[in-house]
Amino acid sequence: MTSTPPIVIGWREWLALPELGIPAIKAKIDTGARTSSLHVDTLVVDERDSVTWLHFSVSATGRRHALPVRCSAPAIARRTVTDSGGHATLRWFIRTRIELGGACFETEINLTDRRNMLFPMLLGRSGLGDRFAVDPAASYCCGRLKSRKMGNAA
């Protein structure tokens, strides 16, 4: 049996969330965090046909005047998450595809307010799996993605 060597990534990387219509977003890679988090500017919960849908907007580029991307996804759970400061909050979770360094995989992401953080997304260890090896001294090993216009997942 042959195993594929892990892709080396830095402590921060550009990644894509194609199912959400986000072609490029800066993410902090955090092996200390179990789950991944995505900053949302707005969040509306909608019950349709016994399915909880989340409608949210994401400022993917981090630029002050950039238009937010409107996204929709079915909720998979609502769980308590404790941040690095020990504060527990109840957060909605979705499951979506991530593209990073040539790898494409699905993972759970919680939706939260990260406006005071440097990165709109945090990729935690459950999303990293055994696909990646993190070099804490490196940044953007996988290159910079362009924030081109892309259709919104609605």
Q: Give the DSSP letter string of the chain.
A: ---PPPEEEESEEEEEEGGGTEEEEEEEEETT-SSEEEE-SEEEEEEETTEEEEEEEE--S--TTPPPEEEEEE--EEEEEE-TTS-EEEEEEEEEEEEETTEEEEEEEEEE--TTSS-SEEEEHHHHTTTEEEETT---TT-PPP--------
> Is the domain covering 10-134 a CATH 3.40.50.450 domain?
no
- Per-residue confidence (pLDDT) for residue 59, from 0 to 100: 84
- Per-residue confidence (pLDDT) for residue 136, from 0 to 100: 96
Q: What is the per-residue pLDDT across 53-102, written as a single tens digit (0 to 9) for each?
A: 999 999 876 556 678 899 999 999 999 999 888 999 999 999 999 999 99
Q: What is the per-residue pLDDT across 3-14, written as a single tens digit (0 to 9) for each?
A: 789 999 999 999
Is residue 22 scored above 90 in pLDDT? yes
The residue ranking higher by pLDDT, 115 or 30, is 30
Q: What is the per-residue pLDDT across 88-132, written as a single tens digit (0 to 9) for each?
A: 999 999 999 999 999 999 999 999 998 888 899 999 999 999 999
